[in-house]
Amino acid sequence: MNSVIKYFSDIAHGVKTLWKGMMVTGYYISHARKEIITQQYPENRDTLQMFNRFRGEVIMPHNEDNEHRCTGCQACEIACPNGTIEIIWDRKPDPETGKKKKSIHTFVYHLQMCTMCALCIPACPTDAIIMGQDFEHAVTDRSKLTKILNKPGSKLMKGVEE
Amino acid sequence: MEVVDKDKTIPGDALKSQEYFVNMGPQHPSTHGVLRLVLTIDGEIVKRIEPHIGYIHRSIEKMCEKDSYRQIVHLTDRMDYLSCHINNVAVCLAVENALEIEVSDRVKVIRTIIDELTRLASHQLWWGVMGMDLGAITTFLYGFRDREMITDIFEETCGARLTMNYNKPGGLMFDIHPNFQKRTKEFVEHFKKKLPEYDQLLTGNVIFQERTKGIGVMSKEDAIAFGVTGPAGRASGFECDIRKKNPYHVYDKVEFNEVLLTEGDSFARYKARIQEMWESLSIIEQLIDNIPEGPIEEKTNAVIKLPKGEFYQRVETARGDFGVYVISDGKKSPYRLKFRSPGFSNLFILDKIARGSKIADLVAIMSTLDLVMPDIDR
């Protein structure tokens, strides 16, 4: 007789605990508008704002005169753990003093090898590179991931010294 | 005339099942990554479990031997990615101890808060996945809902949601974001309301209890013998909390209890993690309002060179005792770097505690051990 009572009380207990759990889901169904947290990506692409510190990719800002701040000192190349940054530099004569000065020819950034550790940013003595917030990096071909950060025809900003 | 062996004609004997092998993984969803278990099973009873690891081995320890001490830190993100900040801090502490640098109180407090947030995020994900392993998809969504708030805090302050790389030997990469305290307080308030829901939804559930109580019992002796640490070890009564035993940061100044249970079954391991979440919340609450002022980094040389010798630092990650063992020969990169990962020890007790259980129970046991494969393979 006891086993019969236990059998039914177990069923009742089981139903009770399941009901308790269902109360939680029931609350969220009835308060769906208040509790919703899902973002509709990519529909919200126009309004989507990433945090300022978000590390999406390395970029080199240029001003309106097509000037950057990179002197070609290669500090970022040394700081990078993965060989992501590759600087091809040459020596050009300074138009004012006539002395030969180190300058960058191409700043190659291999996005496919980058782990977004951001060790290159504090390494840079002239703040030439920063982390950009773009995170949509999908491309159809691997070669498109190798980027050249200095724009064509750009030169070093005046007053930036190594 | 052929002699018939009488024993072979007994029906019960003829129906006797045969042992056979089954591969569970390496792509099985409940093995949390690429873990392959070779099971010897008899019907549905598991007779023997042989974990085969190495599918995600990336030779992180070897890569550390060519990197400078600053560069090593970001590699540790990729090991136990769910407690990445704690791993980063372990390497930084090892280097700081070797160089005899004392970081400011501000750095210590910020590191403690983010450590605890990481632990909470890890346990939330574990809770969601644990429910899903046992067939309840709802928990996964609820766990991720609360975890989202923590990842937002990380994204705003550290710059990334998962692989944060917020620390460097000597301090922090940059100061906390002005919104950090506000957001963290909001999260603590929010999560204090939501954590009882976890109990309501899953802990009390009769199906969940039937599937975890008395399953995979680990004795205290086994836990010590196999070196099982973290919540899994503490659920068996093994006092192994590094935060209490060997305090780092400001853990000796905050009040919290080491969660100790004695049952040692899957349900106890589950309860230990839920209680740890309450402890983590209390630690954050004690610290968040009074972050002391001070410098966020101590000055280090441009090229960090450790003195000759061997250095060891242990910290408590969400999974247990994590150790960094550095052997330095005075150069800019370590001669040898060894990581003691908690997951590795926790995995190999599986054969001991899950032998004789059903396959479905094995999934439950594995889930309560909270394995992260990159941590085990490195």
Q: What is the 3-state secondary structure (H, E, C) of B107-156?
A: HHHHHHHHHHHHHHHHHHHHHHHHHHHCCCHHHHHHHHHHHHHHHHHHHH
The tens digit of pLDDT for each residue in A71-84 reads 888 888 888 888 89
In a domain, B3, yes or no: no
Per-residue pLDDT band at B2 (split at 50, 70, 90): low
Contact with chain B for residue A32, Cβ under 8 A: no
Q: What is the pLDDT of residue B225?
A: 92
Distance CA B311, CA B91 (A): 10
Longest dimension (CA), chain A: 107
How would you classify the pairing of strands A155-156 and A146-148? unpaired
Residue type, A85: I
Per-residue pLDDT band at B335 (split at 50, 70, 90): very high
pTM of the model: 0.89
Nearest to B159 among A18, A24, A131 (CB): A131
- CB neighbour list of residue B41: distance below 8 Å, 6 or more residues apart: B19, B20, B21, B22, B47, B359
Distance CA A26, CA B7 (A): 60
Inter-axis angle of helices B105-133 and B180-198, nearest 10? 30
Mean pLDDT of B300-329: 89
Nearest to B138 among A14, A25, A53 (CB): A25
Contact B165 A117 (CB under 8 A): yes
Per-residue pLDDT band at B325 (split at 50, 70, 90): very high
In a domain, B107, yes or no: yes
Looking at every residue in chain B, the average pLDDT score rounds to 87
Nearest to B165 among A17, A20, A118 (CB): A118
Q: What is the pLDDT of residue A28?
A: 85
The tens digit of pLDDT for each residue in B221-279 reads 988 999 899 898 888 888 888 888 888 888 888 888 888 888 888 899 999 999 999 99
- Of the CA atoms within 13 Å of residue A65, those in its CB half-sphere come to 7
pLDDT at B78 over 60: yes
Q: What is the pLDDT of residue B3?
A: 55
- Please name the residue that has the structure tokens 């390496």: B26
In a domain, B102, yes or no: yes
Main-chain dihedrals φ then ψ at residue A105, nearest 5 degrees: -95, -55
pLDDT at A118 over 70: yes
In a domain, B222, yes or no: yes
In a domain, B340, yes or no: yes
Q: What is the pLDDT of residue B11?
A: 56
The tens digit of pLDDT for each residue in B3-50 reads 555 555 555 555 667 888 888 878 777 777 788 889 898 888 888 899
In a domain, B122, yes or no: yes
Distance CA B74, CA B21 (A): 40
In a domain, B14, yes or no: no
Mean pLDDT of B301-324: 89
In a domain, B12, yes or no: no
**Tokens matching residue B208:** 């969940």
**Tokens matching residue B87:** 């791993």
Main-chain dihedrals φ then ψ at residue B38, nearest 5 degrees: -95, 110
Instruction: Give me the domain span that covers residue B87.
Output: 21-377
As a whole number of Å, the end-to-end CA separation of chain B is 65
Residue type, B368: T
Contact A118 B202 (CB under 8 A): no
Chain B residue whose CA is closest to A79: B71
Buried b / exposed e over A14-39, threshold 16 CB at 10 Å, is: eeebeeebeebeeebeeeeeeeeeee
The tally of domains found in chain B comes to 1
Q: What is the pLDDT of residue A149?
A: 86
Chain B residue whose CA is closest to A133: B159
Question: What DSSP letter does each residue of B330-371 carry, written as one string?
Answer: SSSS-SEEEEE-HHHHHHTTHHHHHTTSBHHHHHHHHHHHT-
Question: Residue B334 to residues A159, B69, B247, B374: CA-CA distances in angstroms?
Answer: 40, 8, 25, 22
- Chains A–B, number of C-beta pairs less than 8 Å apart: 66
From B251, B268, B232, select the one nearest B86 (Cα to Cα). Answer: B251
Distance CA B322, CA B97 (A): 16
Q: What is the pLDDT of residue B8?
A: 54
CATH number, residue B70: 1.10.645.10
List residues of B whose CB lies inside 8 A of any A CB: 67, 70-71, 73-75, 77-78, 138, 145, 148, 155-160, 163, 165, 173-174, 177, 197, 200-202, 204-207
From A1, A78, A66, A13, select the one nearest B67 (Cα to Cα). Answer: A78
From the CB of residue B93, how many other CB atoms can be counted at a distance below 10 Å?
A: 22
The tens digit of pLDDT for each residue in B86-130 reads 999 999 999 998 888 888 888 999 999 999 999 999 999 999 888
As a whole number of Å, the end-to-end CA separation of chain A is 92
Contact B159 A54 (CB under 8 A): yes
Element (H, E) at A28: helix A2-30
- Chain A residues within an 8 Å CB radius of B157: 53
Mutate to test the interface with A, among B58, B66, B70, B202 (most CBs of A within 10 A): B70
Element (H, E) at B45: strand B45-52
Helices (H), chain B: 11-14, 60-64, 69-76, 84-99, 105-133, 137-157, 180-198, 206-212, 220-226, 230-234, 242-245, 266-288, 342-347, 350-354, 359-369, 373-377
Q: Which of residues 134-153 of A touch B (CB under 8 A)?
A: none
Element (H, E) at A2: helix A2-30
Contact B159 A118 (CB under 8 A): yes
Distance CA B49, CA B41 (A): 9
pLDDT at B202 over 80: yes
From B167, B188, B166, select the one nearest B116 (Cα to Cα). Answer: B188
Contact A20 B200 (CB under 8 A): yes
**Tokens matching residue B220:** 């205290």
The answer to whether the beta carbons of residues B344 and B364 sit under 8 Å apart is no
